[in-house]
Amino acid sequence: MNPIIALSELRFRWRAQGPETLRIDALEVAAGERLFVEGPSGSGKSTLLGLLAGVNQPQQGRIQVLGERLDQLSPTARDRFRADHIGYLFQLFNLIPYLGILDNVTLPARFSRHRRARALARSPSLVAEAKRLLTHLDLDLDLDQRALARQAVSELSIGQQQRVAAARALFGSPALLIADEPTSSLDADRRRAFLELLFAECAETGSTLIFVSHDASLEGLFDRTLRLPELNQATDRGGPAARLRAAPVAQAQAAQAPADQAPAAQATAAQAQAPRASAALTATQPLDRQPPAP
Amino acid sequence: MAILRLALYSLLNRRFTALLTLFSIALSVALLLGVERIRGEARTSFANTLSGTDLIVGARTGPVPLMLYSVFRIGNATNNISWQSYQEIAAMPRVAWTVPLSLGDSHRGFPVLGTSRAYFDHYRYGRDKPLRLAKGARFADLYDAVLGAEVAAQLGYRLGDAIILAHGASDVSFARHDDKPFRVVGILERTGTPVDRSVHVSLEAIEAIHLGWEGGAPMRGREIDAERAGRMDLTPKAITAALIGLDSRIATFAVQRAINEYPQEPLLAVIPGVALSQLWSLIGLAENALLVISACVLLVGLIGMLTSLLIGLEGRRRELAILRSVGARPAQLFGLITGEALLLTLLGILLGGLILTALFRLGQPLLEAQLGLHLGLGTPQPREWLLLSALLATGFLVGLIPGWRAYRMSLSNGLSLRL
């Protein structure tokens, strides 16, 4: 079975003449995996997510998502691909202020017929699917449809807003869910509860989760951790290219899980597979630390 | 479709600033359209005042002043034509008809026109429309008067009422011809021309009321009562101007030259259309200045919209990133912002049109009474459509600026939000 994400020889810089922001020789993510991406600010997390989402385009290298070569698609085709297959969760202010809760949740269906069709396959209507997701995400709202449609998202608490955002990201069962520090504004208890809800929903739809955070305490909840400063050899952005190339490739030994659950264990990528139906802490291999560049 | 809906919701969300922007655009649209409409109507109304007349003859001045005072009752004649010259012109070959015009008196602010019965036969306005009596008949007796529609309406006159004419334009007691009251015998139908504001009497009546006024004021002891005046020779000695119809248009230039070179008296004959176009070139300058000013006001409105859109954009980076994340293309975000500008402009035009219609409806009676200007409230004229299209295009072009910024922003920022 093919990995859902396969990167190789990836090079990205924001400006043509600027320093390299991202340099990843190889990375693979298995379908259904829950991947924790860790790294401090400036380690290229957002850049990596932008590349995976098809918003940015690398200068070099392959990005394969769901078997599609994103690096070879036109910008419009990448936007379409994202609309169809990727759910995206931001850190904060995830919702469009002028749309009601239901309109926010069903937004992906406005941009993708596929997600619309998948939502309608699960529920009789878009609104019903939105309500189903909201209920699943334990959103304690009066689910009277009219009130829900009208209620301004700004009236919700931060935690509620993040759950509405999660419902939007999961709407129409995207194969890949990318979350960019969505829990950083929640307190520890709520953080864990939110993650468990997210895991459960991902498990139900079979979505792969890529979760970025600098909060290492969450790491244990995921199948595998990816330490971006080690994987990204361009962390010293702006430093001499020769030194960057000389740095060792970050590699982690994969703790092999049963083959049926770890379909894409590749030698080049750090892999740690665990049963993904559980939201409980699973075995995560610490990666070999790369000595920080001087 | 999704984007248009989003644009609408987004505008509704910012309804206060959006409404302000909308109003500033609407008001400037109303101003621009109003200037254009009044300009167009004024031209039409001028052009519609006289038709079927080939030449206007008066004492030698400029073509524009001659036409203004003889037809539009604007300004005063500096000189008259002698009755004898008028008779000779009337007798010229190719001259089919003549209508004498004698101006200078007034009735409660309305000009009095002394003329012949031929006036009612030959005066044409609009598209060759003759004058028609709404009530009564043409003047037959010496002291009969036929009122224009506006005069009758404003002063509340009915057939049989007695009116006193005043000497000159002022209406003061010592300058009234109150020894010779007139009787209203006819009221004309409304024409939308200065005819509506005129009191028509016969040339002989003008002569009669001025008997004993040779010095410009009544001479004591030489008063001549109305009845005695009627028995005197009332052949006029001079008239202000004359309208001339020819039996063939081809003869126009020949007759015009003959009159202009008339040896006994310095006269001027003008072709109404030519004089009108001279008038336009004169007025055109002021008109264009007015139009440029209203266009500037509109530009200010659009720049206001641009400012509010650009400021709004800063606060909408989040929103744009979210839309990007659910698959919106940069072009769609461009469309979202530009669409808002277009929507604002379109709504501004509609609202501006409504405001203008309301204003015209309210101001119509005043304009008609004061200026004799009739404003049509019908559908926009071709020129106005052109103006509106240009306006919409400008609104769109203005919207391209924030749209382009949003486009650039969504490309350079991607999904990362640098706030």
Its ipTM equals 0.73
Is position B327 within any domain? yes
pLDDT at B347: 92
Q: Which of A144-153, A208-217, A256-265, B375-384 has the highest mean pLDDT?
A: A208-217
pLDDT band at B417 (very low <50, low <70, confident <90, very high): low
Rounded to whole angstroms, the Cα distance separating B69 from B90 reads 21
Residue A268 has pLDDT above 70, yes or no: no
Q: Which of A39-43, B13-17, B140-144, B296-300 has the highest mean pLDDT?
A: B140-144
Residue in chain A closest to B415 (alpha carbons) equals A50
Is position B7 within any domain? yes
pLDDT band at B32 (very low <50, low <70, confident <90, very high): confident
Higher pLDDT, A144 or A278: A144
The tokens for B251 are 């003869």
Mean pLDDT, residues B290-295: 85
Residue B163 has pLDDT above 80, yes or no: yes
The tokens for A186 are 């929640």
pLDDT at A282: 35
pLDDT at B221: 67
pLDDT band at A258 (very low <50, low <70, confident <90, very high): very low
- Do B326 and B390 reside in the same domain of the chain? yes
Q: Chain A residues with CB inside 8 Å of B326's CB?
A: 82-83, 88, 107-108, 110-112, 168
What are the start-end ranges of the H helices in B240-271?
Answer: 252-260
Instruction: Write the residue in B9, B327, B417 that is nearest to A111 by C-beta.
Output: B327
pLDDT band at B111 (very low <50, low <70, confident <90, very high): very high
- Do B348 and B219 reside in the same domain of the chain? no
pLDDT band at B49 (very low <50, low <70, confident <90, very high): confident
B195 CA to centre of own chain:
14
Residue B134 and residue B188 in contact, taking contact as beta carbons nearer than 8 Å = yes
The tokens for A215 are 């909060």
Q: What is the pLDDT of residues A39-77, one digit of tens each?
A: 887 778 888 888 888 888 888 889 989 988 988 988 889
Q: How many CB atoms within 10 Å of residue B277?
A: 14
- Do B319 and B182 reside in the same domain of the chain? no
Q: Among the three residues B270, B296, B315, which one is the final residue of a domain in this structure?
A: B270
The tokens for A218 are 């969450």
Mean pLDDT, residues A272-287: 38
Range in A46-55, B141-150, B182-191, B406-415 the model is least confident about: B406-415
- Do B235 and B380 reside in the same domain of the chain? no
A107 CA to centre of own chain:
18
Range in A211-220, A276-285, B58-67, B339-348 the model is least confident about: A276-285
pLDDT at A147: 66
Residue A290 has pLDDT above 80, yes or no: no
Q: Which fold has domain A5-246?
A: Rossmann fold (3.40.50)
Q: Among the three residues B270, B295, B316, which one is the final residue of a domain in this structure?
A: B270
Longest dimension (CA), chain A: 62
Range in B133-142, B347-356, B366-375 the model is least confident about: B366-375
Q: Do A95 and B322 touch (CB under 8 A)?
A: yes
Rounded to whole angstroms, the Cα distance separating A203 from A219 reads 18
Q: Chain B residues with CB inside 8 Å of A90's CB?
A: 318, 321-322, 325, 415, 417
Q: What is the pLDDT of residues B176-219, one digit of tens each?
A: 887 889 999 999 998 888 899 899 999 999 988 888 776 666 66
pLDDT at B157: 93
- Do B319 and B247 reside in the same domain of the chain? no
Is position B276 within any domain? no
Is position B419 within any domain? no
The tokens for B184 are 């209203």
- Do B7 and B89 reside in the same domain of the chain? no
Is position B398 within any domain? yes
Q: Chain B residues with CB inside 8 Å of A80's CB?
A: 327
Closest CA to A134 of A144, B322, A203: A144
Backbone angles phi, psi at B110, to 5 degrees: -95, 140
Residue A29 has pLDDT above 50, yes or no: yes
Residue B33 has pLDDT above 60, yes or no: yes
pLDDT band at A265 (very low <50, low <70, confident <90, very high): very low
Residue B419 has pLDDT above 50, yes or no: no
Structural element, H or E, at residue A285: none
- Do B218 and B306 reside in the same domain of the chain? no
Q: Count the residues in chain A.
A: 294
Higher pLDDT, B363 or A167: A167
- Do B357 and B262 reside in the same domain of the chain? no
The tokens for B182 are 């007139």
CB-based contact, A79 to chain B, within 8 Å: yes
Residue A289 has pLDDT above 80, yes or no: no
B381: containing domain = 2-46+283-413
Q: Which of A275-279, B27-31, B197-201 has the highest mean pLDDT?
A: B197-201
Is position B233 within any domain? yes
CB-based contact, B419 to chain A, within 8 Å: no
Residue A259 has pLDDT above 50, yes or no: no
Mean pLDDT, residues B387-403: 89
SS3 state at B170: coil
pLDDT band at B91 (very low <50, low <70, confident <90, very high): very high
The whole-angstrom distance between A133's CA and the closest CA on chain B is: 17
The whole-angstrom distance between B399's CA and the closest CA on chain A is: 20
Rounded to whole angstroms, the Cα distance separating A73 from A67 reads 12
Q: In chain B, how many domains are there?
A: 2
Residue B88 and residue B107 in contact, taking contact as beta carbons nearer than 8 Å = no
Residue A22 has pLDDT above 60, yes or no: yes
- Do B249 and B109 reside in the same domain of the chain? yes
The tokens for A35 are 């991947």
pLDDT band at A273 (very low <50, low <70, confident <90, very high): very low
Closest CA to A162 of A131, A189, A132, A195: A195
Is position B277 within any domain? no
Higher pLDDT, A254 or A197: A197
- Do B304 and B225 reside in the same domain of the chain? no
Mean pLDDT, residues B298-304: 85
Residue B55 has pLDDT above 90, yes or no: yes
Q: Do B414 and A55 touch (CB under 8 A)?
A: yes
Q: Show the 3-state SS of B348-392.
A: HHHHHHHHHHHHHHHHHHHHHHHHCCCCCCCCCCHHHHHHHHHHH
Residue B320 and residue A93 in contact, taking contact as beta carbons nearer than 8 Å = no
- Do B296 and B266 reside in the same domain of the chain? no
- Do B91 and B211 reside in the same domain of the chain? yes
Q: What is the pLDDT of residues A72-107, one digit of tens each?
A: 988 889 989 999 999 988 877 778 888 888 888 999
CB-based contact, B322 to chain A, within 8 Å: yes
Residue in chain B closest to A90 (alpha carbons) equals B322
Instruction: Write the residue in A46, A84, A111 that is nearest to B328 by C-beta.
Output: A111
Q: How many CB atoms within 10 Å of residue B19?
A: 15
Rounded to whole angstroms, the Cα distance separating B66 from B111 reads 16
pLDDT band at B172 (very low <50, low <70, confident <90, very high): low
pLDDT at A262: 38
State in Å, rounded, how far the first CA of chain A is from the last one. Answer: 40
